[in-house]
Amino acid sequence: MSQFSHLDADNNPGMVDVGHKDITKRTATARTFMFLGKDVMAQLEGEEINMPKGPVFQTAIIAGTMAVKRTWDLIPLCHPLALTGINFKIEAVDEEHIQIDCTVKLKGKTGVEMEALTGCSVAALTVYDMCKALSQKMVIKDTRLVEKKGGKSDFKLGE
């Protein structure tokens, strides 16, 4: 791309005009890896960590969902969107790490990559907040887009 889409000819920022685009089905999935360490992961019972503040992963999913719906309010040039679906999956990947996936869907004129990335980020921050009494050694390691469908092009990490 020779020019950023959020800059006009005079290099002034602005929200991209999507009025001319067709409404299409669009999805995006983002993923965050998080190091919790053995002390925190030792609290894992089944598929959940229960802390005095409540169930960690369930609370993270609720916080991530709320963040997805407010992405337009957090990221200055994002459009407010009528989302059709938000799904999370949080799972242990080994004895010290978890993976958080967030998939966002809509039928609209713009993509939902930023919404999926924001959802993963806030879910990870919520896990950190709820588990920090056990360890401050947790690390939110990697947040990235892993798949996007719809719009001008599709994307899948590794392809």
Catalytic residue set: 129
> What is the Cα–Cα distance from 103 to 87, expressed in whole angstroms?
5
Q: How far apart are the first and last CA of the chain?
A: 19
Q: Mapped to the 3 state alphabet, what secondary structure does 60-75 carry?
A: HHHHHHHHHHCHHHHC
What Cα–Cα distance (Å) separates residue 14 from each residue in 5, 17, 27, 70, 135?
Answer: 9, 9, 24, 19, 42
Burial class (CB in 10 A: 0-12, 13-18, 19+), 49: buried
Which residues, including other chains, have CB under 8 Å from residue 85's CB and lie 6 or more apart?
Answer: 103, 104, 105, 106
